[in-house]
């Protein structure tokens, strides 16, 4: 099963593609969809939509997984993230890819064992699970933390359906 995890945002969207191959969690691809903050919002959203479609067409995932939007204190940010998530959901729908969502606490609990873990703890556990498979020359300049949430949500789905491996094999 090929799982495309997404951490949506209008400036930077993280993505992580994990293949469950019976031997472990194979990291197929991960990275960012970045938009220019100087562009109009609708232009940025269109770019996110097109890049999401490109990712789906390139990799043909079986499922598209998001972390549910958690409302904090900044409504403006939540609205922007919701808009990015909306165009990505549209891309998944157009490509007829199944969509799943998980609460942030569920993702943290599945990855670290603690539903209140901070971002750094999630990243540390993610590296333990995925090992060197998240490092490559192609991503040398990419900050891992931008795609870590996407990989974490993809692995959460793998663990939830009982097919993911919680250790490096």
- Distance, in Å, from the CA atom of 63 to the CA atom of 17, rounded to the nearest integer, reads 10
Q: How far apart are CA 125 and CA 29, in angstroms?
A: 19
State yes or no: is 36 an active-site residue.
no
Catalytic residue, candidates 7, 51, 149, 157: 7
Cα gap 166→86, rounded to integer Å: 31
- Terminal Cα-to-Cα distance of the chain (whole angstroms): 17
Q: Is 139 a catalytic residue?
A: yes
Choose the catalytic residue: 100, 101, 139, 163: 139
Q: Is 139 annotated as a binding residue?
A: yes
Residue 7, marked binder: yes
Instruction: Retrieve residue 162's tokens.
Output: 């009982």
Catalytic residue among 67, 125, 149, 157: 67
The residues annotated with a catalytic role in the active site are 7, 67, 139
Extract the annotated binding site: 7, 67, 139
Extract the annotated binding site for Mg(2+): 7, 67, 139
């Amino acid at each position: 099963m090929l799982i495309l995890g997404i951490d949506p945002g209008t400036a930077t969207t993280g993505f992580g593609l994990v293949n469950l191959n019976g031997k472990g969690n194979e990291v197929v691809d991960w990275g960012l969809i970045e938009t220019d903050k100087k562009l109009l919002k609708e232009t940025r959203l269109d770019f996110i939509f097109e890049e999401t479609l490109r990712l789906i067409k390139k990799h043909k995932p079986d499922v598209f997984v998001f972390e549910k939007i958690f409302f904090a204190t900044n409504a403006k940010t939540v609205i922007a993230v919701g808009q990015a998530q909306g165009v990505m959901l549209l891309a998944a729908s157009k490509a007829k890819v199944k969509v799943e969502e998980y609460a942030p606490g569920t993702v943290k609990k599945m990855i670290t064992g603690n539903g209140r873990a901070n971002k750094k703890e999630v990243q540390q556990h993610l590296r333990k699970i995925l090992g060197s498979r998240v490092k490559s020359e192609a991503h040398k300049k990419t900050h891992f933390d931008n795609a870590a949430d996407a990989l974490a949500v993809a692995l959460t789905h793998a663990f939830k359906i009982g097919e993911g491996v919680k250790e490096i094999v």
